[in-house]
A and B are shown apart, each in its own frame.
Chain A
Amino acid sequence: MLEGDLRIPTETDGMLVSMNAGPAAPTGGLGLNTSSVISGLAFPLSFGFTSEGTSPSFSITVQFVHGLTQGVVPTIVVSRTITDIRFVDQKTMMLVVPFLHACACMGTSCPQPGDPNCDSIQTPVLRPFDPALAPPSTMMNQPFAGI
């Protein structure tokens, strides 16, 4: 679940998600890369992952961008990487990751490491899924074919 104080769509209008099976961070080339227009939506945003039983963990990079709907090369507003997210057998877990305006990159400069609200996260501690906290599922489609 992604929380944030970014204004949609003035500060961000798109979200890029890269996913890689295993503990290594996505590199952009391999793995799953999706882009989504989030104009008209509001935080919190959420999506799910399901295990096919092969890899015990996965890693993702989420980037909120601006310009995705304007036909130009989008610029990264906030990017965070979470690696080695462990599946829990027969349980639905959740992870809340903030995307704050304070962590936004100014041009090509991004905040220096040291702020836990902005830094990458490795092997995060998950908590049991709380339907009262997570947005309700809005689509029961087939899962994306991951790696």
Chain B
Amino acid sequence: MMPASLIFAAALVAWGPVAPDAAPVTAPAPEVPVAATAAAPPALTAPPVAKMTIDRSAAPELLAAPSPPPPQPRTPTYKRWQFWVIAGGALATAVGVTIAVTRPGPQPYTGNVPPYLISVH
């Protein structure tokens, strides 16, 4: 007869090693359907993932991947030089057109003797 402590120790060995705390998040363990039996205890064989070890040196970039830089704030339109170039050009054009359209023509010559100025229709 084996002592009960030896039997318990053998059961623990058969159960397998305890899964490490830092379980890989990128490889979730596949769900293993377990047949629901009323009297059967959980299977003594551990899921395959529980036995996998993580090799941190294999892909260090996955563990220490730099986070993407935060997006730079968008420059307001009125702070861009292109805006002021276009606005200034439009303003100068408007002023020039206004002056050209509204500028009075040359004053007619009226001379120094009547009839001074004759309008020819």
Contact = CB atoms under 8 A, between A and B. Distances in A.
B121 A135 contact: no
Q: Do most interface residues of chain A lie in helix, strand or loop, or is the interface mixed? A: loop
B26 interface: no
B8 interface: no
Nearest to A136: B112
Contacts of A38: 113
A50 B120 contact: yes
B116 A48 contact: yes
A41 B112 contact: yes
| Interface size range of chain B in the complex | 10 to 19
A143 B117 CA distance: 5
Contacts of B109: 46, 48, 92, 94, 129, 134, 137
Nearest to B110: A137
B118 A138 contact: no
Contacts of A145: 119
15 contacts: A36-B115, A46-B109, A47-B110, A48-B108, A49-B120, A50-B119, A54-B120, A134-B109, A135-B111, A136-B112, A138-B111, A140-B110, A141-B117, A143-B118, A146-B120
